[in-house]
Amino acid sequence: MTATIAPPRPQAGAEPPPPSEPRSLPRWAWALVVIGVWIVVWALTKGTDTLEIPVRVHTEVQQQLTDFRDSVLASRDTNPLIQFTYSLGGWFTDVVDWAQRMISIPDFPRPVPQIGWLGVTAIATWIGLAVAGWRIALLVGASFVSFGLFGYWSDSMDLLIVTFVAVVFSVLIGMPLAVWLGTSRRPWVVSMINTLLDIFQTMPTFVYLLPIVLFFGIGASAAVVCTLIYALPPIIRVAGHGIRNVSPTTIEATDAAGQTSFQRLRKVQLPMARKTIVVGLNQTIMAALSMATIAAYVDGPGLGKPVLSALFKNDVGGAFVPGMLIVVMAVMLDRTTTAASEASERAARGQVDLRLRRIVLAVTAVGALVAVWASRTYISLAEFPETSWGPTLAGWVDDFTEWFTDTFRGATDWFKNLISDYLLNPLQSLIAESPWYVTATAILLLAFVFGRARALLPTVICLAGLRYFGLWHDSMITLTMTLVGTLLVMILAVVFGVWMARRASVDLMLRPVLDAGQTIPPFVYLIPMLALFGPTRFTAIVAGVVYAAPVAIKLVADGVRGVSPTTLEASRSTGATTWQEITKVQLPMSRSSLVLAANQGLLYVLAMAVIGGMVGAGALGYDVVLGFSRSEEWGKGAAAGISIVLIGIMVDRICRAAAHDEAVTHDATRRPRWRAALGG
């Protein structure tokens, strides 16, 4: 008979030991296992079944897309849908043309616009004063004067016209949808709208252009329509979020008072969500300005035209001046909408002397009308006088660029070669030179490791789509460049995000820079990168990194800052060093923010894929640009655009699933793991 030893009884008042957790490999370890097996298979099979096709060779699907385009163009006079879209595009063209003749181009037989530069500047300055105050009025006035001083008055006004027309229709279409999203009690409605918005916001900007040109032609019509579509999602999503998140207690009070749904919306939900709605409007304006700039590629009017022309000629100085004015316009519009929201809140709280404000506005309105009259009467006040500011600044930029590249060519080449030789080329060889079925299997396994079952179905659908459209090899090269760019973005995001979160002075210094960086359209980022690295794929990657870094850094900073001070104090009481506190407490506890930053960073980098195709990025970006340039390549360009969207959706869904799984895991295990990590 075997004796049994009873376990010792716990002493009175002692806490029972925590239940043991089943040990399992962390997700990063499983990912390394998958990658390790993938490398072994790649070493044995590389270069086979990569599905690489020559540039000018088309698959059957790509040829069918070209035939579809030809059939659409052939049926313009008989197809009711095409007739409607072209009629709508013609109406947009007429609106833009009327506005141009009013403020930017001669209205023949009048040799100048109906309202000259002085009148336009005076009206814009008065509007800035009326909606946001004298500081914004000065900013607006100085911005408009700079457009003329640097020699781009007409192009600047054209860009503002396209942006304004697109924003007006975005609000007219988007606000009813935002109300529907914010007030609907049907889950399927919310899910449907959010899914459509996810798809639209995942699409890189250039992808909009191919179908828009097909159905609306080129010129102002295509510029307005593609800008309108691209600018719609922010106002719908943000305004709908604000309406939906009005306090339930307030809603219950309105129901108890017997208000109808329309009364509740007009008197309670919209006023209480006003600040959030203005944020959505701000994001819509920024998106519209960004897209209106890119629309220069389809002959859209505006400052994008001289930027695009200079980029094609590798004229850094010629691209810098209009690019700088785009930034000036972006900052002006961003600051004006933000300040307008703050001014309306101050007025609502009674912090503004309304009588004095009306007097000031009335007096300045008279001055603005006088300026309009003068600009219509005197030619010298209607047409901005020629100056040498623009060419002079372009020359200085060219001289500085030549000096900088000659001086630091060794450093820039070293950095480019370091990333290319030790990161980009090996990763591209693994992803693009493995047999397509090996890469597809590895991606599916990694999707399951990071996103579990939630990520599998969208990954399967997107991979099948990439295989179907016949650009698998180019898609894998684009995916490689995107992953490398995202890795560099996350390195910057973690370093600067943690620094900002732990030092208020650093946050105060960097946040305005990051805010300004988010207002710059992606086109503009190519200019300095082209000067530093020349027309190569690395130029596109670095431009994407600089474009994506601001949003990722801010997300990481906000996530790290959100870690509970109590938790930090507890870790410090255990004797944790600064490095341990960052790596074992703050970063692990802000993991969901890191996942979101990686998701957004990757989508921003991917958005530069096609734009980078104009400066030597190759792969899908080049295919899309080729589809624009040659009519016989339209099908291949369309397939490349769809493939970019599929890559974006696939990665977005994997990141979302990973973030959801991380949140569920965190909620299920409340005990702070950092104690065990620190030995406490």
Would you state the pLDDT for residue 279? 80
What CA–CA distance (Å, rounded) separates 149 from 143? 10
The pTM (predicted TM-score) of the whole model is: 0.80
Stretch among 166-180, 192-206, 298-312 having the lowest mean pLDDT: 192-206
Sign of the Cα pseudo-torsion (566, 571, 577, 580, in order):
negative
Which SS3 state, helix, strand or coil, does residue 118 take? helix
- Report the chain's C-alpha Rg in angstroms: 28
Q: Nearest CA to 478 among 132, 207, 177? A: 207
Q: What is the mean pLDDT of residues 27-33?
A: 87
At 459, the amino acid letter reads: T
CB distance 188 to 309 below 8 Å = no
Q: Tokens 């810098």 label which residue? A: 320
DSSP 452-465: HHHHHHHHHHHHHH
Q: Has residue 4 got a pLDDT over 60? A: no
**Within 13 Å and on the Cβ side, how many CA atoms surround 530?**
27
| First vs last C-alpha separation in the chain | 42
CB distance 204 to 624 below 8 Å = no
Would you state the pLDDT for residue 356? 83
Orientation angle between helical segments 537-561 and 389-419, nearest 10 degrees = 80
Angle at 611 between CA 633 and CA 468, to 5 degrees: 45
Q: Nearest CA to 156 among 169, 140, 168? A: 140
Would you state the pLDDT for residue 409? 84
Would you state the pLDDT for residue 351? 72
Structure tokens at 561: 């800052």
Q: Tokens 């397939």 label which residue? A: 639
Neighbours of 437 (CB within 10 A): 12
| Residue 19: cis peptide before it, omega within 30 degrees of 0 | no
Which of the four pLDDT bands, split at 50, 70 and 90, describes residue 662? low
What CA–CA distance (Å, rounded) separates 140 from 329? 9
Q: What is the pLDDT of residues 172-182, one digit of tens each?
A: 999 998 888 88
Q: What is the mean pLDDT of residues 404-428?
A: 87
Q: What is the mean pLDDT of residues 268-287?
A: 82
Q: Has residue 147 got a pLDDT over 90? A: yes
* Helix ranges, 300-435 (H): 304-312, 316-348, 354-377, 389-419, 425-433
What CA–CA distance (Å, rounded) separates 68 from 75? 11
Q: What is the mean pLDDT of residues 318-345?
A: 85
What CA–CA distance (Å, rounded) separates 131 from 115? 22
Q: What is the pLDDT of residues 105-132, one digit of tens each?
A: 888 888 889 998 999 999 999 999 998 8
Q: Tokens 């009259």 label which residue? A: 373
What share of the chain has pLDDT > 90, as a percent?
25
Q: What is the mean pLDDT of residues 249-256?
A: 73
Domain with CATH 1.10.3720.10 in the chain: 154-302
Across the chain, what does the average pLDDT equal? Answer: 83
Q: Any idea which architecture 154-302 has in CATH?
A: Orthogonal Bundle (1.10)
CB distance 345 to 96 below 8 Å = no
Q: Has residue 233 got a pLDDT over 70? A: yes
Q: Nearest CA to 637 among 520, 510, 471? A: 471
Q: Has residue 155 got a pLDDT over 50? A: yes
Please give the C-alpha separations between residue 390 and each of 306, 323, 532, in angstroms, as whole numbers: 12, 12, 22
Structure tokens at 236: 């719908």
Burial of residue 307 (number of CB atoms within 10 Å: 0-12, 13-18, 19+)? buried
Neighbours of 487 (CB within 10 A): 17
Which of the four pLDDT bands, split at 50, 70 and 90, describes residue 102? very high
Q: What is the pLDDT of residues 335-354, one digit of tens each?
A: 888 888 777 777 667 777 77
Which of the four pLDDT bands, split at 50, 70 and 90, describes residue 663? low
Q: Tokens 């995107």 label which residue? A: 482
Q: Has residue 566 got a pLDDT over 70? A: yes
Which of the four pLDDT bands, split at 50, 70 and 90, describes residue 408? confident
CB distance 135 to 396 below 8 Å = no
Q: Has residue 17 got a pLDDT over 60? A: no
Stretch among 215-224, 237-246, 451-460, 667-676 having the lowest mean pLDDT: 667-676
Would you state the pLDDT for residue 618? 76
Please give the C-alpha separations between residue 232 and each of 171, 268, 378, in angstroms, as whole numbers: 8, 24, 41
Would you state the pLDDT for residue 671? 46
Q: What are phi and psi of 139, to 5 degrees?
A: -60, -45
225 vs 529, higher pLDDT: 225
271 vs 19, higher pLDDT: 271
5 vs 380, higher pLDDT: 380
Q: Nearest CA to 345 among 131, 494, 537, 137? A: 131
CB distance 671 to 18 below 8 Å = yes
**Within 13 Å and on the Cβ side, how many CA atoms surround 581?**
22
Q: What is the pLDDT of residues 358-401, one digit of tens each?
A: 898 999 999 999 999 999 888 888 888 888 899 999 999 889 88
Structure tokens at 478: 């684009």
**Residue 417, by phi and psi: left (phi above 0), alpha (psi -120 to 50) or beta?**
alpha
**Within 13 Å and on the Cβ side, how many CA atoms surround 637?**
24
Please give the C-alpha separations between residue 466 and each of 162, 376, 462, 470, in angstroms, as whole numbers: 34, 57, 6, 7
441 vs 507, higher pLDDT: 441
Neighbours of 228 (CB within 10 A): 26
What share of the chain has pLDDT > 70, as a percent?
91
